[in-house]
Amino acid sequence: MTSNHESQLEPLLVEFFRAEMPAELRSPEFDVPDAKAVSETVTVDDAHVAHLPADAGSPVVVGSRPTGPSGLAVVVVVAACLLAVVFTIPGGPATPVRDSDGVAASSDADTGDAAPAALEPAFTLETDDVFVERVDGRVETFGAERIETSRGPVELRTVRETSNVSVFNPETGNGVDVTSEVLDIEIVPIDDPEEPVGDEFPDPRDDAPLPPEFGSP
């Protein structure tokens, strides 16, 4: 019956329409990607669990598509708001300062001969020897958007979260608490439901209950 033709039909139609289309429209400048917008994005690692690099104040997530009703920006800077309260570890002895031999030096309260630099209250993120600890965090918004691309559907997931991070320099005994905003963008390929597996018309018997001899699970 029609099966012979149906199997031959698709290539025949492709060939047929290729011949039918005017030459001008076949030119590559008329090629339009099968997506309205394809984002090239980068997922940002959590900046707060790693050693902060020198420019840790501005790791950047790059995206090209605004997302969500809140109009999350295309470029988000981690630690955009350094709302931090810079503090000097209050009163009492700071973490012991170590000398070049690794032996704990006495505090100036005891001897008064500790290196002045070790007591310097100023603290900068440029110091390499800092410990970074994430104190807590919470997810502010979450969005998921399906985008059709030429390689199939993908889901654009955006998570905006706030983290409280504590950065501590044991050498100076100084620390800083940082509240940072992180926008995490992920593009995840998802299965394309438009390509049905098997028949395009499911057999209604598929949903029928199993005969009694098969029992129920």
Nearer to other proteins by C-beta: 9 or 60?
A: 9
Nearer to other proteins by C-beta: 7 or 70?
A: 7
Inter-residue contact 79 to 56 (CB < 8 Å) = yes
Q: What's the closest the beta carbon of residue 24 comes to other proteins, in angstroms?
A: 7
Nearer to other proteins by C-beta: 152 or 170?
A: 152
Instruction: Please state, in angstroms and as integers, the Cα–Cα distance from residue 107 to each residue in 89, 98, 100, 102, 172, following that order.
Output: 15, 10, 15, 15, 12
| Residue 181, beta-bridge partner list | 162
Q: What's the closest the beta carbon of residue 147 comes to other proteins, in angstroms?
A: 11
Nearer to other proteins by C-beta: 26 or 51?
A: 26
Q: What's the closest the beta carbon of residue 154 comes to other proteins, in angstroms?
A: 12
* Chain residues in the site for other proteins (CB under 8 A): 1-2, 4-6, 8-10, 12-14, 16-26, 29-30, 32, 34, 148, 153, 192-194, 196, 200-201
Q: What's the closest the beta carbon of residue 202 comes to other proteins, in angstroms?
A: 11
Query: What does the alpha-carbon distance between residue 42 and residue 27 come to, in Å, rounded to a whole number?
Result: 33
